[in-house]
Every structure is written in C-alpha cells, then in structure tokens.
Amino acid sequence: MSSEHLALAEHFHAAYGRTCTGIWAAPGRVNLIGEHTDYNGGFVLPFALPQVSEVAAAAREDRMVHVRSLLNGETAEFSLDGLAPGVVTGWAAYAAGVLWSLEQAGHRLPGLDLLIDSTVPIGAGLSSSAALECSVVLAATDLAGVDLPAAELARLAQHAENDFVGMPCGIMDQMASVAAEAEHALLLDTRSMSTEQVPFTLAPDDLALLVIDSRAEHRLVDGEYAARRAQCEAGARTLGVQSLRELTDDGVAPEELPARLPDEVTLRRVRHVLTENARVLAAREALRTGAYAQLGEILSASHASARDDFEITVEETDTMVQTLLSVPASDHVQPALGARQVGGGFGGCVIALIQADSFDGLLAAVQDNARRRGFTEPTGFLAHASAGARRLA
C-alpha cells in the first residue's frame, strides 16, 4: 500500500474505529471533443485524468450507511431501507444515489462505512461528481460480491445522477470514468454503447494538452443544462427523428437545417450537435494519423460552435481561448494549436493543444488576461490519459 493509500486507511480507522476492507478510485475526465452529444445518442471522445476520487470502505452488519468526506469534514448517515430521492441532499447525494440505484436494480447491499477523498477539481467541468459516483459504485459492488460490466456500472451511476441528484446528464462522464485506459482516449457511441480505445500520447511529438480551470462560477443544475437538453429533444421531434444522432446517420448537411427548423434557437442547438458529431469522428482520425494541426483546428471549431450555436460559454472562457490562440510567438512560447471550453458549459475548464515547452508562457498569458479583466485567476496543469476506475488496495 502506498503512503497516500496508507494515509486514507489511517483516516478511515480514526473515523470508524476499524480497518477498511479496501480502497477504490475512479478518475475525473477531460472530454477531448463531443460536447452535449451524449444525451443525443451521439459520439464523444473523453479520456481519464490522473486525478481521482478515492473511497475507503468496509461493510456493516446492519443496513446503515455512514459517509464522511475529507474534503469538507462533513458526514452523512442514512439507511438503505427507505432510501429515495430527496432523503439525502448535498454532496452526499451522489454517494447515496449510487447505492439507491444499485438497490433499484435488484442488488441488495450491506450497510457501509465510507470515507471519501478526491483530487479532482470540483466545479471545473472535469466531472468530479461522476468520479465520486464511480468510486462508490465500484466499492459497493465489490463489497456486495456483485460483478457487473463497465457499461452497467456507468449506467447505474448515471441513473443516480439523473434520478436521485436531479442532473439530466448523459452517460459520457461515467463511461469515461469506468472504461478509459491509460494513454488512450475513449471513443464512445452513446447510442450503441460501443467503445474504441484510440491511442492518445502527445509527448513523442513534443506536444501536450493544457487544462486550465477558469474558476468561473460553474452552474449546471440551475436549469441551463436541462434547457439545452429539452431544446435538442424539441428539435428531434420537429425533424421526426428519435434522436439527433439520426441526422449523422442520414448524412444530413448543416446547410439543410434552416429549411426544416423554422425556430432560430432550435436550429442553432441542432446544428451544434450535428457538427459536433462530425468533429468527434474527425478528431479520431486526426489522432490515428498524427494530424495534430488538424486536431487543433477541430478543437477551436468546437469552441466556436459551443459559443455561437449552443451558447454555453462565458466571458472568462471565451477570452481565455482567444488569448491561447493569439499569444505572440517568441522563443519561449508558441500559440496553442487549438483550444476550447470543455464540460457542460457556463464556466469550468478550457483545454488547449500546445507545444509542451509553451506551458509556462501560455498559462502566464491567460492569468495576465484574467487579472486585467478582473476575473478570478485561473490555474492550469498538463493532462495525460490515465487509467479508469479500479481497486487500489
């Protein structure tokens, strides 16, 4: 057991007066490309981060669940008997919702003692909630002796977030957390749930993926995300299709949409989904062939679509992307090959495909931009594709 895992085990013993059975982890994710396509039956291309949610856990002899967080020092207690949406709220609802989802699917669980820690930035659009859900679902199924495939674990975690927490997300975040592989991006067809591991290693080409947390307020459950989903569903109904994915299958061109969608807002939402699906498939080919300049163009085009057609960007992320793409070239820094806002929108992170040695200069440029505009100073790191959910100890 590593020193970090030993420390979590010691915290568990201090909290519960007994030894944990094991420690499980699930990562956050960066979605390289494919925003708001997952709940429309489309394609996404995320990868798992090194940053993870960890849970030390042990079964109890009763049906009570005790959950504690090292992030905020808070605790929650509830019974599995009578557990239902609304019984547990706040951060603990993500853990409780997973257990509720498992029981709803017919998997009877023992009571649990859970101690949670995480290195996934919260509210940054890197899916800290899915990481928490997937670490708990993995721990709970292991302790209950339930063996489920990755896609089913993801579905149960998504069910928890949709119907217990009340966030109408698609399944991308949970699938990335449980099914991603190190040094690969995960191409996921969210309609068929088929996956493809796409090699994703930038270092041999002296490139890197910069992730910058704008630290802008990140708002999703207040209705904007749900509104976008409803607008997409309305567009599908108008077009007479089950999901907007069918437009891709049918070879519909973006230029055909105005004649079929008289409402301007619906038109823009549908156009984003159609063009974003095409960008995901193009990004896969760019990774396969090492066409990184093309990949950069795809990322920037995705941001423009998210800004203009889906209207989910904010001033902080828009100016950050502009800065990354237009910083003056010098011996110490080169402009990003491409950049875009990632996550559900309305704040969160920006990613940029960069020359690896430009990290310091580009981060300094976006921090200077934030200071001049009176924004909260952003933070950044270089991300690489890491392993999905697993037992650590």
Residues tagged active-site: 173
Concatenated DSSP letters of 148-169: --HHHHHHHHHHHIIIII----
CB count within 10 Å of CB 289 equals 10
The Cα-based distances of 270 to 83, 138, 161, 171, 275 in angstroms read 38, 36, 25, 19, 9
Distance of CA 38 to the CA centre of its chain: 11
What is the separation of C-alpha 156 from the centre of its chain, rounded to a whole number of angstroms?
A: 16
Query: Judging by DSSP bridges, how do beta strands 64-69 and 112-118 pair with one another?
Result: parallel
Long-range contact pairs involving 292-296 (C-beta distance under 8 Å, separation at least 24): 292/202, 292/205, 292/207, 292/337, 292/353, 293/337, 295/337, 295/338, 295/353, 296/336, 296/337, 296/338, 296/339, 296/353
Query: Do 159 and 101 touch, CB atoms closer than 8 A?
Result: yes
Q: Confirm if 45 and 280 have CB atoms less than 8 A apart.
A: yes
Phi, psi of 108 (to 5 degrees): -75, 130
Residue with tokens 């904010």: 314
Q: How far is CA 323 from CA 20, 46, 318, 370, in A?
A: 48, 24, 9, 10
Phi/psi of residue 178, nearest 5 degrees: -95, -25
> How long a stretch of residues is the chain?
393
**C-alpha–C-alpha distance, residues 220 and 308, integer Å:** 19
Cross-strand partners of 2: none
- In sequence order, what DSSP letters do the residues of 250-274 get, joined into one string? TT--GGGHHHH--SHHHHHHHHHHH
Nearest 5°: phi and psi at 158?
-65, -40
Q: Which amino acid is at 98?
A: V
